[in-house]
């Protein structure tokens, strides 16, 4: 009788041990899943913002190029043109 009682207690302890182990494993996997979901959200946000940044860079390059072309165009007669040769030699006539 004593041996049967001992085996019964060992069986109960093992079942409780497995349940305890499975419970902590589920809790740890819950944190892993939460971390994975957060990482996926951050990666999706990064992808969207990276695309927006690329579009802004392209638009800004277009604006800069257009401004350079406007400043170099010969149709702009509002600014007086300075002779660069006389400016570099220091020739100043009044």
Q: List pLDDT tens digits, range 34-44.
A: 999 999 999 99
Residue showing tokens 């690329």? 54
Q: What angle do CA 55, 61, 63 make, to 5 degrees?
A: 105
Q: What is the mean pLDDT of the chain?
A: 76
Domain-embedded: residue 80: no
Which percentage of the chain shows pLDDT scores above 90?
A: 37
The per-residue pLDDT string of the chain (94 residues; one tens digit each, 9 = 90 and over) reads 687 787 777 666 655 556 665 667 777 788 889 999 999 999 999 999 999 999 999 999 999 999 998 888 665 555 555 555 555 555 555 4
Query: Which three-class secondary structure state does DSSP give residue 78?
Result: coil
Domain-embedded: residue 39: yes
Domain-embedded: residue 92: no
Backbone phi and psi for residue 91, each to the nearest 5 degrees, phi listed first? -75, 110
* Tally of domains within the chain: 1
Distance, C-alpha 18 to centroid of its chain: 42
Distance of alpha carbon 37 from alpha carbon 29, whole angstroms: 12
> Largest Cα–Cα distance in the chain?
127
Q: Which residues span the domain enclosing 16?
A: 2-71
């Amino acid at each position: 009788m004593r041996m049967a009682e001992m085996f019964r207690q060992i069986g109960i302890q093992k079942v409780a041990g497995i349940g305890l182990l499975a419970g902590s494993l589920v809790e740890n996997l819950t944190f892993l899943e939460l971390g994975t979901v957060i990482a996926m959200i951050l990666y999706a946000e990064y992808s969207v913002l990276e695309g927006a940044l690329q579009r802004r860079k392209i638009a800004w390059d277009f604006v800069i190029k257009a401004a350079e072309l406007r400043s170099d165009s010969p149709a702009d007669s509002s600014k007086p043109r300075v002779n660069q040769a006389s400016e570099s030699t220091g020739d100043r006539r009044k």
